[in-house]
Chain A
């Protein structure tokens, strides 16, 4: 049971990966990508946890703190993640305008017809 968190991280990561590679809809792919991303966040935060520790905000009542470094990395990664997701969604909207669809196979088909 001691590796439970890491197993869950891998399961979530694989679910996200599966959505990205086997679904054709571009918005769905982005949702899968965000699941994948969150699983990485969970991995980092799990590694920073110390048993019996508390949140890394200094307080004279506590001596054991969890590792603050992963928290910093993930905090910025979340906001950067939403910013890049916004760019991805903007691309999807443009693709919809250019091709009339956001299904991967249909886009491929239209590209082939043009060649």
Chain B
């Protein structure tokens, strides 16, 4: 038994314990915090399973944005859940039967880590052996994400954009007049040290996001991760210095335009290759040398993804936070 497998067993055990804790806890605030721990653990698991890009995404999404959105919802809806659960036993029976059937199903699964399992034989060998010659990037995940499965990623970007529109249309575009009342007292004004340290930390976070964006071809990273990190820096600014200050720096209507612009950038890269006589999103049409074309294409497409993800995350946070401010009078 290798040391990796041992760590795998321990981390998965922690995950189960944490999930049980989330299920048992009556306090939703505690549940959200345990969910944060759950996400930290799953990221460690992804690192152990060699999925560094996935761990990167989980790191920036799970612990940061997801916790922030859950917490801002909780301040609007209340901290405790009603203990009267109607169908506890029925639920347990259903879950038990489904679980046993699924566990029975695992006996047919290939052995964990088997290099000759059906999953490993179909497409992966082609990607691993040929992607460097065809795309020219060391990070296979980026090659597959942006080039081989570029159409799929385009769809995912559109889904994120649509979700952003959905949140905006559910919770309203404008924040109305109540922000004027609240702009006098900045939140967290009593935490002086926090404000200073945040001021020091925000520029490195932004620069690091740019590094993740443009280094994603060579190491773990890419548009999705960079977008979330960039948004996290702006969210930190908005939380520490107040929503109105942040709105003055980053105009919300500009953010909304940017979220559409990212998708458009992605789509127009596809159209350009279309017009040059190749297939949609076939980047080799972008330059004389097909490899250079792939580089340009991946750079532009990742940039589009990054812009859309940043803009959607920021506008979703702004929408939730302005609701919270309206509800609670705007100051802490």
Binding site for B on A (CB under 8 A): 2-8, 10-19, 21-28, 30-32, 34-35, 38, 41-42, 45-59, 64-72, 74-76, 78-87, 89-94, 96, 102-103, 105-106
Contact = CB atoms under 8 A, between A and B. Distances in A.
6 contacts: A8-B12, A10-B99, A47-B117, A51-B114, A56-B139, A79-B156
Interface in B109-144: 109, 111-115, 117, 119-120, 123-124, 127-128, 131-132, 138-141, 144
Contacts, number: 283
Contacts of B309: 79
| Interface residues of A, dominant DSSP | helix
A24 B85 contact: yes
A31 B22 contact: yes
A16 B19 contact: yes
Contact of B77 (A27, A64, A79): A27
A35 B52 contact: no
Interface residues of B, number: 104
B171 A69 contact: no
Contacts of B113: 49-51
| 6 tightest Cβ-Cβ pairs between the two chains A and B | A22-B91, A51-B113, A83-B163, A25-B81, A90-B170, A66-B50
Nearest to A60: B138
B38 interface: yes
B127 A55 contact: no
B329 to A, nearest CB: 17
B313 to A, nearest CB: 8
Given A8-B12, A86-B163, A102-B77, A80 B156 contact: yes
Given A27-B70, A83-B164, A68 B128 contact: yes
B52 A55 contact: yes
Contact of A83 (B42, B54, B160, B171): B160
Given A66-B50, A78-B61, A96 B76 contact: yes
A4 B141 CA distance: 26
B271 interface: no
A59 to B, nearest CB: 7
